[in-house]
Amino acid sequence: MALWGGRFASGPDESVLKLSRSVDFDWRLAPYDVRVNLAHVAGLQRAGIIDGKDGALISSALIELAHEIATGAFTFNESDEDVHSAVERGLVTKIGELGGAFRAGRSRNDLVVTDFKLYLIDHLLEVADETVLLAQTIDTVATKLIGQVAPGFTHLQHAQPILFSHELAKHSHALLRDVDRMKDWLTRNSVSPLGSGALAGSPLVPNPEIIAAELSFQGVTRNSIDAVSDRDFVAEILFAFAMLGVHLSRIGEEFTIWNTQEFGWVTLDDGFSTGSSIMPQKKNPDIAELARGKSGRFIGNLTGLLATLKGLPFAYNRDLQEDKEPVFDSVEQLLVLLPALRGMIETATFNGEKISADVLGGHALATEIADFLVLAQVPFAKAHEISGKAVALAQSKGIEVHELNDTDLSGVDPRLTPDLRKSLTAESAIASRVSINGTSTKSVVAQLGQLEVKIKSYSGWIASERKRFSGMMGI
Ligand code: ARG
């Protein structure tokens, strides 16, 4: 159904209809559109624009429509330009001309932003929930594997020994930052643009604050031109999703490497692996690879939107219709990816022997030698040089630095006394790193406990926000 046409001699050309039509994707906004319209009708009633009898008729028709949309009994058709026209058609079908009364005092320009914000609130809570569940799974696996030592890498080269739980838990920290960004998004963007009208505000609805509160927003935007132009909230959430996607891609990359024949650190469950159509022996880590691959899409969705926004004149321009598909895509792909990745990690077997097999390879205890000298009052630069010489000697002998005997060590520098020996194990290197962020067992156990507390608090936040937004306008 068209929402305009009075001043046109002819209807739009077929090609224009195709170009301008957004209902195929923005139909996802339908449940929110109905709620916003319900709140708006109540506002029109309070302002005396619609009388009580008509208001009740329109409202009950809207509620009926909401249920039909939820069950699929009502949906868009060929004649609808966008979700707003489809909803109005639904209403007109039910109550005739009166169905067109509810759009007084609001424009699709303020309506679409309000609908979109409500969609995002609902869906960012779903994404946040799945992200918290993944962080929780990683935390649980890390807790189970406490005590497992592993080589820690920098530049993908052996660096220093670490606890494998420390390696795993880093991902939960990153994921919880993503959740925090979503939480922060909600605090900043929970303001209703309704009442901004086309661009100048509305003479018919004097109290947008009441409507905003009915829709569970925490306030109202304060400049009507900004409110209909602003898509910062879209770019912000696409950044949060892209950053989350980057974190998932790094998890994917790590599991792909750990799953190689050469590493053999992890065995993926059959249910979370895929095969090859030609090589019968193959069992591939496709979930991890898709986690890596989809990040490109999430980043593209963000950069595409930023390019659309750059240099746009203020107030509404039709370019802004391009804001929705990237969001729907990121949301929907994340909601497919997150549970699969969680299942993959939950069911994976970690092969402890392989993980610790070469923990001291690559002269991984060289820093311990330097630190030992520092504790004996040798300036670090000198200590670094002496330890480097020990590494060179070990290398010339074809052994690891911790395998040098006492004579070799004292030959490099007399301050490398046999006392050093007790620092030259993976366990002591790990146990010595007792700082709040370090890899000692004591520190890691405390960190995992703190993660647990954070996870609980984010789950609590998600539950309370869901409660606040559910049942909005009684539907
Ligand atoms: N489908 C449009 C969008 O998503 C709705 C707003 C249309 N407003 C207009 N003035 N043509 O942006």
Ligand 1 atom closest to residue 22's alpha carbon, by position in its atom list = 1
Closest CA to 429 of 355, 336, 363, 349: 363
Q: Exposed (0-12), middle (13-18) or buried (19+): which is 447, by Cβ within 10 Å?
A: buried
For 391-400, write each residue's pLDDT tens digit: 999 999 999 9
Split at pLDDT 50, 70, 90, the class of 171 is very high
Closest CA to 432 of 372, 366, 342, 359: 372
User: Does residue 320 have its Cβ closer than 6 Å to ligand 1?
Assistant: yes
Q: How many residues does the chain have?
A: 475
Q: How far is the CA of 11 from the centre of ligand 1 (A)?
A: 18
* Other beta carbons less than 10 A from residue 227's beta carbon: 25
Least confident of 51-55, 108-112, 277-281, 326-330: 277-281
Structure tokens at 366: 């060289």
Let me know if 190 is a catalytic residue: no
Output 7 or 242, whichever has higher pLDDT: 242
Handedness of CA 212, 214, 217, 218 (dihedral sign): positive
Question: Contact, 392 vs 386, CB < 8 A?
Answer: no
370: three-class secondary structure by DSSP? helix
Closest CA to 394 of 411, 417, 378, 414: 411
CA distance 63 to 54: 14
How much is the average pLDDT of 373-381? 97
Let me know if 443 is a catalytic residue: no
pLDDT at 144: 98
CA distance 62 to 60: 5
Residue 53 scores a pLDDT above 80: yes
User: Does residue 26 have its Cβ closer than 6 Å to ligand 1?
Assistant: yes
